[in-house]
Amino acid sequence: MIDRRDLLKITALGTLLPTAVRPAAGDDDSGLRERLVAAQASPVLRRDRLPDPIVIDTVELLNKDDQFFVRIRSTDGVEGIALTNKRVIRSIYPMLPALVMPHFVGKDARDLDALIEGVFMRGHNYKWQGLGFWSCVAWVEFAILDLIGNHVGAPVGELVGDRIRDRTAIYYANGDRTSDAAAVVDQLEELIAISGARALKFKLGARMHSTDASTQRDFELIPLARKRLGDEVTLFTDSNSSFDIPLAVRTGKLLQAHEYGFFEEPVQFDHFEETKAVADALDIPIAGGEQEYSMRRFQWLIEHGALDIVQPDLLFFGGFVRSIRVARMAEAAGLRVVPHMSGFGLGSLHVLHFASVVPNSLRYQEYKGDKDGLPYEVIGTGKPFRSIDGEIEIPSGPGFGVRFDPDYMRQLRPVRT
Ligand SMILES: [Mg+2]
């Protein structure tokens, strides 16, 4: 029987790490916990590359129509900008000025690691820990990284690691759960046509539950997609917690038979024991983590072999500093990491910079097209980033390496809460 770790080697998930150290169920890897704790503790921001203080003067929340931005200025008059995810922020934006933004005013941006820890401990903020709180922290962190990058003329990746990639392949994610199997494969073919993607992901189940109809569709779609798209395309699937253990295992075995690359959130995402039970029962790599906001719970998932591919969301989990700690934990356990990404707020841009420095990154980064439709250009190209032949060039300009249209930015107004 093929071991799950061997499957990671032979599927197109990326070059193999030197040694897959993830223990099989029941193995005693007494050093793993210590390695995971050490991986969380080491500094992320490369202070050695930042000789001079960068003092944060103002942190502002700006708005036009349904779009929100965080803008940070240093006492030297340099700016950092973060576009937020418009679908997320409209429900939670008062947390930014109330809980998060004041913590950063007057601080040295080079203390970013400590500032992220500090905002969690400020007042009663720890009680608000969750996707909303950490998303607010992430937007401020993105703006700080952009600010630091603009100060020193370096892309975000070089502030948090060593740039090891200038481009990355993408997997195009399809979100359709309502069309029939043939229509979904039509859509996947269209995504290949517009992007050149060599990897795709599609949905299974009925989102957080399954029905007889969704199961029938899944069992038609899984073989059909492989048959029509061919053996050269890497295929991933995501059930968004739709199954119980028996249906997850049945579905997973069908995915294995058709050589799928990973199976994301097979059972309820916060039911860790069930996730581990499915992982133990299947050879296909199990992916998950997009709703996780706790570093310790990521440690549990990694330590207990519940996940093979770790998917922190750079926004929901609180930004680059925290997500790189998760990537380091995954690396310490011999696992791959690929961020989850919702698409809005230039989510792909963050994913690209993350991939530029994370050695144990999956070969393919999640991609959902440009959902914002805002006027911006990649510095140096004069155009938005886009997938050509299934790959995207990672911006190399300062900060996030993009520039929003100045006429558009002048229309933004401060948000009063
Ligand atoms: Mg997902």
Nearest to 206 by CA among 182, 235, 238: 238
Q: Which of 247, 238, 312 is nearest to 277 (CA)?
A: 247
Alpha carbon of 208 to ligand 1 centroid (Å)? 11
Q: How far is the CA of 398 from the centre of ligand 1 (A)?
A: 31
- pLDDT tens-digit series, residues 19-34: 334 444 445 677 999 9
Structure tokens at 406: 């100045």
pLDDT of residue 342: 86
pTM value? 0.94
Tokens for 45, please give them: 């921001």
Instruction: Say what the pLDDT of residue 173 is.
Output: 97
* Residue range 230-266, pLDDT digits in tens: 999 999 999 999 999 999 999 999 999 999 999 999 9
CA of 39 to the centre of ligand 1 (A): 25
Dist. CA 262 → ligand 1 center (Å): 11
Report how far ligand 1's centroid is from the alpha carbon of 173 (Å).
9
CB atoms within 10 A of CB 94: 12
Distance from residue 408's CA to the centre of ligand 1 (Å)? 32
Cα of 54 from ligand 1 centre, angstroms = 37
φ, ψ of residue 256 in degrees (nearest 5) = -60, -45
CA–centroid distance, 394 to ligand 1, in Å, is: 23
Handedness of CA 168, 135, 100, 408 (dihedral sign): positive
Per-residue pLDDT of 58-74, as tens digits, reads: 999 999 999 999 999 99
Q: Is the pLDDT of residue 177 over 50?
A: yes
pLDDT confidence of residue 127:
97
Is the pLDDT at 7 greater than 80? The verdict is no
Instruction: Look up the CATH architecture of domain 4-40+161-399.
Output: Alpha-Beta Barrel (3.20)
Predicted local distance difference test score (pLDDT) of residue 370: 85
Residue 340 β-bridge partners: 313
Percent of the chain scoring above 70 in pLDDT: 93
CATH topology of domain 47-158+406-414: Enolase-like; domain 1 (3.30.390)
Where in the chain are the domains? 4-40+161-399, 47-158+406-414
